[in-house]
Amino acid sequence: MKADITARLEEIAGREFVVYDQGHIEDYLYDETERRLRPPACRDCVVVKPGKPEEISEILKLANSENITAVVRGGGTGLCGAAIPVRPSIIISMERFKKILEYDDKNFVITVEAGVTLREMNEFLQERNVLYFPCHPGGAEAQVGGLAMENAGDPRAVKHGVMRNHIKGLEVVTPTGALIRLGGKLRKNNAGYDLMQLMIGSEGTLGVVTKVMLRLYPKTKYSGVLLASFDTCGRAADAVTRTLKRGIVPLSIEYLNRSVALRTAEYVGERWPLEKGRSDLLFIAEEDSEEGLFDVQKAIEEICSEAGAVESLVPEAGRDQSVILTICDSAYGAFGEDLTDSMDIAVPPADIPRLISGLEQIAERYGAAIDTVGHMGDGNVHSNVYLAEKDIDDYYEDLKRELYALTVRIGGTITGEYGIGKIRRDSLPVQYDSTQLRLMRGIKELFDPNGILNPDTAIY
């Protein structure tokens, strides 16, 4: 990195907030994307840790005048390589944007600086114990700014939606250095194009978020777990449709095929409690009263039985429940080393059986294996692909193209949660036609005429 650029960054942010020795820069180069899939990071980078939006504005003006790339780094927990610098870059770390600015319990909103982590915000809300943020759409160290920029979502989307549904306002420094404020505490606002929604999910390509205002919700007091197993994925999906049609909206509805459940249980040193059937559903329900929770669990159990469940179980609160939740949360770790790709596709929820059987047929033709865990309630499945050989073979690209094409034919998307980033960019034309891709490129050019902010990301 040129010495005059690092010197300017020191003037803008202060000497102690600029990192250019290679040893320390290493910590800022990669996110949590699987090793085999992530692009190699460029090491010719400098890290700057601004403390104010005005400093970010100056940094971006410098990037424009020097025609050098800037990449924002949040918590570095992303799973699509979006935060990985692949060209010589100024890495803008948001780690000093740590303040919780306002907790407004009358309007049900919290305003935080973008570098506050999910864990920190939840601890703050936990201490007050009245309102809460109902989702956990990322790693605990993911920053609220990063969650907004990835429009992250988790299994609780069944009941509560994804980040997009909770964000009320953003403060953003545009790529050319202007500070803009989008949205606010309003319940209704129909003025002009909705730039805030455009910014959400833009993967750090349209601006640097400095503040986020999020919606909060009254805390529910009781939660419980129910497991049900079926002979086929189709029967499990039918149980999900019947439950939702009956007006019961659980917090989440997770699907595990039995081989995933058994392997993960072994990985965490526990026993999977179901024996009959091959396709398991985990319902998590949340209610305001103990009786309400009991009634909902009973109703779900009846619906599952009508749909052909061969076994069901309401584990005791406490250890039994937490074992099951631990197993479900660990499915990814259990397969980590053998995995080639953990796909993140989503289809209309009722079409999941069609998707899973189609994926399995395609994989079989390539001599690959696919295991699926998924958020059955919101149609998002993580299909773990294993190739015969451990390295990514040439044929993997063909296999992936076929899997994505099937997904799109069913009306789905190639990513429901983790985003396009740098690893799925080349697959975007499978989902969007040339007009849509051109409009996206046009939007990027309008915000970022010199293409300095996180190019090579999110759009094709």
Ligand X SMILES: Cc1cc2nc3c(=O)[nH]c(=O)nc-3n(C[C@H](O)[C@H](O)[C@H](O)COP(=O)(O)OP(=O)(O)OC[C@H]3O[C@@H](n4cnc5c(N)ncnc54)[C@H](O)[C@@H]3O)c2cc1C
Q: Determine whether 89 is exposed, middle or buried from the number of CB atoms within 10 Å of its CB (0-12, 13-18, 19+).
A: buried
- 150 versus 287: smaller Cβ distance to ligand X: 150
CB-CB contact of 181 with 226 (8 Å): no
**149 touching ligand X, by CB under 6 A:** yes
Which residue among 29, 41, 152, 260 contacts ligand X (CB under 6 A)? Answer: 152
Q: Do 428 and 459 contact (CB within 8 A), yes or no? A: yes
Stretch of 18-26, 142-150, 231-239, 441-449 contacting ligand X, by CB under 6 A: 142-150
Of residues 83 and 240, the one with the C-beta less far from ligand X: 83
Measure the CA–CA gap between 170 and 210, rounded to whole angstroms: 8
**Binds ligand X (CB under 6 A): choice among 78, 169, 277, 353:** 78
For the window 367-406, what string marks contact with ligand X as x by the rule CB under 6 A? ----------------------------------------
Q: Answer yes or no whether residue 55 interacts with ligand X by CB under 6 A.
A: no
Q: Does 254 bind ligand X (CB under 6 A)?
A: no
The gap between the terminal CA atoms of the chain, to the nearest Å, is: 27
Could you tell me the sign of the dihedral formed by the alpha carbons of 75, 80, 83, 85, in that order?
Answer: positive
Shortest CB 281 distance to ligand X, Å: 18
User: According to CB under 6 A, which one of 38, 49, 61, 73 is a site residue for ligand X?
Assistant: 73
Binding flag, residue 145, ligand X (CB under 6 A)? yes
Burial class from Cβ neighbours inside 10 Å (0-12, 13-18, 19+) for residue 255 reads buried
H or E element in which residue 122 lies: helix 118-128
171 near ligand X, rule: CB under 6 A: no
d(CA 350, CA 288): 29
User: Are 233 and 304 spatial neighbours (Cβ–Cβ below 8 Å)?
Assistant: no
- Cβ atoms of 54 and 76 within 8 Å: the answer is no
Q: Which is nearer to ligand X, 96 or 401 (CB)?
A: 96
Q: Are 140 and 152 in contact (CB under 8 A)?
A: no
54 close to 10: Cβ distance less than 8 angstroms: no
**Measured from the CB atom, is 4 or 27 closer to ligand X?**
27
> Least distance from C-beta 294 to ligand X, angstroms?
28
Instruction: Compare residues 94 and 370 and give the one whose CB is closer to ligand X.
Output: 94
By the rule CB under 6 A, 209 interacts with ligand X: yes
Q: Does the protein bind ligand X through residue 420 (CB under 6 A)?
A: no
* Binding-site ranges for ligand X (CB under 6 A): 31-32, 71-79, 82-83, 94, 114, 137-139, 142-143, 145-147, 149-150, 152-154, 203-204, 208-209, 417-418, 454, 457
